Amino acid sequence: MPLVSVVMPVFNGERFLAEAIESILAQTFTDFEFIIVDDGSEDRSADIIGSYAEKDDRIRFVKLGRNRGEADARNHGIAFARGEFIAAMDCDDVSLPLRLQRQLDVLARNPEIGVLGTGAQAVNEELRPLFNFDLPQQHALIVFNLFVGSFFIHPSTMMRRDVLSDVGGYEPSRLTAPDTELWSRLMWRTRFANLPERLLLYRWHDAQIHRTRDAVAMKQSSDVRERLLKRLWGEAPHETLVRFERMQRDEKLGPLDRRRARRDLARLLDALIGADIIDRIDRGLVEAHIERRLEGTMPRNWQKFLHWRRHHFGR
């Protein structure tokens, strides 16, 4: 049995598909199966997948009769998986050669970690660098950032199959943001981590940007935060959700909204510690993170002043 099952859904992905497939086949770690799920593509995706499957028996080609959506396609792939670990992959990205090996090394040494992502570099259609993703590495910060920041680059993640099965996999009916919803359930079950190394090239192109910023995607992500707050607080005030959403989009906040956001974030931290999702020992780490996030919502001149004051007075 292979140790790792790489699961990649494809829908009309012919443009970048070959690069994505070849990046997995070129991994330094070789004990894997590569489950590629064609989600009812209408272009040449199925032909491309089939040609690679004929040449490499690690590829298992699953063909769905109609387009069922990303979450359902991933669940179909996971149902075929035999590996102890499930590695996510997207059909327009590139995994660097050491990705699987580095993730397995860390997961072998840290059995408490159920989901492990990596750093990533955003690239354009020709794989030219655009920017780097600044992701938290510690469980406490990843969980906290589900509400107000960046947490995982989904196609960089590797998960323990038993942990994923325990929560029932991806929510099948979810059309967008299936990973955010999944993390919102896994955070009650396991620990998260990110490797600092950038082991994924995350393609930033017109279709991908549209998916990320689509109104439906943003609404479904907001619904996930609302559901989490109701579970943690017993309520989900609209004003709080709006402030969290603005912070997630890196918008500036006025003085009154910053004070209210500080109050909301302190309450959120207390609730996450009370629910044993974040360890008490990590309170200081998250509190420092809160201050940095709030500072980032200030007008640029105020940020410059605070940096100057810290440099000269150490506070």
* In a shared domain, residues 80 and 178: yes
Task: List, in sequence order, every residue forming a beta bridge with 288; answer none if it has no partner.
Answer: none
* In a shared domain, residues 135 and 17: yes
Give CA separation, 112 vs 40, 161, 189, 197, 258, in Å: 37, 13, 10, 20, 35
* In a shared domain, residues 146 and 270: no
Query: Is 209 a residue whose pLDDT tops 50?
Result: no
Query: What per-residue confidence (pLDDT) applies to 142?
Result: 98
Q: Which CATH number fits the domain that encloses residue 160?
A: 3.90.550.10
Query: What per-residue confidence (pLDDT) applies to 239?
Result: 96
Query: Is 312 a residue whose pLDDT tops 60?
Result: no
The reply to whether 116 falls in a domain is yes
At 221, the pLDDT band (50, 70, 90 cuts) reads confident
Crossing angle of helices 283-296 and 139-148, rounded to 10°: 40
Q: 276 in the Ramachandran plot: left (φ > 0), alpha (ψ -120 to 50) or beta?
A: left
Average pLDDT over residues 42-57: 96
Mean predicted lDDT score pLDDT of the chain: 91
The reply to whether 221 falls in a domain is no
Total number of domains in the chain? 2
* In a shared domain, residues 123 and 61: yes
* In a shared domain, residues 195 and 262: no
The reply to whether 93 falls in a domain is yes
Residues of the domain holding 244: 237-313
Instruction: Quote the CA–CA distance of 138 and 115 in Å, as a whole number.
Output: 12
The reply to whether 190 falls in a domain is yes
Average pLDDT over residues 14-42: 97
Average pLDDT over residues 257-277: 97
* In a shared domain, residues 160 and 246: no
| Chosen domain end from 179, 197, 213 | 213
At 315, the pLDDT band (50, 70, 90 cuts) reads very low
pLDDT digits (tens, 9 = 90+) for 50-107: 999 999 999 999 999 898 999 999 999 999 999 999 999 999 999 999 999 999 999 9
At 302, the pLDDT band (50, 70, 90 cuts) reads very low
* In a shared domain, residues 134 and 241: no
Average pLDDT over residues 242-261: 92
At 305, the pLDDT band (50, 70, 90 cuts) reads very low
* In a shared domain, residues 247 and 193: no
Query: Is 222 a residue whose pLDDT tops 90?
Result: no
* In a shared domain, residues 108 and 168: yes
* In a shared domain, residues 17 and 145: yes
* In a shared domain, residues 122 and 72: yes
Query: What per-residue confidence (pLDDT) applies to 288?
Result: 97
Query: Is 195 a residue whose pLDDT tops 70?
Result: yes
The reply to whether 193 falls in a domain is yes
**% of residues, the chain, pLDDT over 70:** 90
The reply to whether 247 falls in a domain is yes
Give CA separation, 56 vs 13, 18, 32, 92, in Å: 20, 13, 12, 20
* In a shared domain, residues 157 and 118: yes
Query: What per-residue confidence (pLDDT) applies to 215?
Result: 64
The reply to whether 220 falls in a domain is no
Specify the DSSP element, H or E, that contains 148: helix 139-148
Task: Please give the model's pTM, rounded to 2 decimal places.
Answer: 0.91
Q: 2 in the Ramachandran plot: left (φ > 0), alpha (ψ -120 to 50) or beta?
A: beta
Specify the DSSP element, H or E, that contains 218: helix 215-233
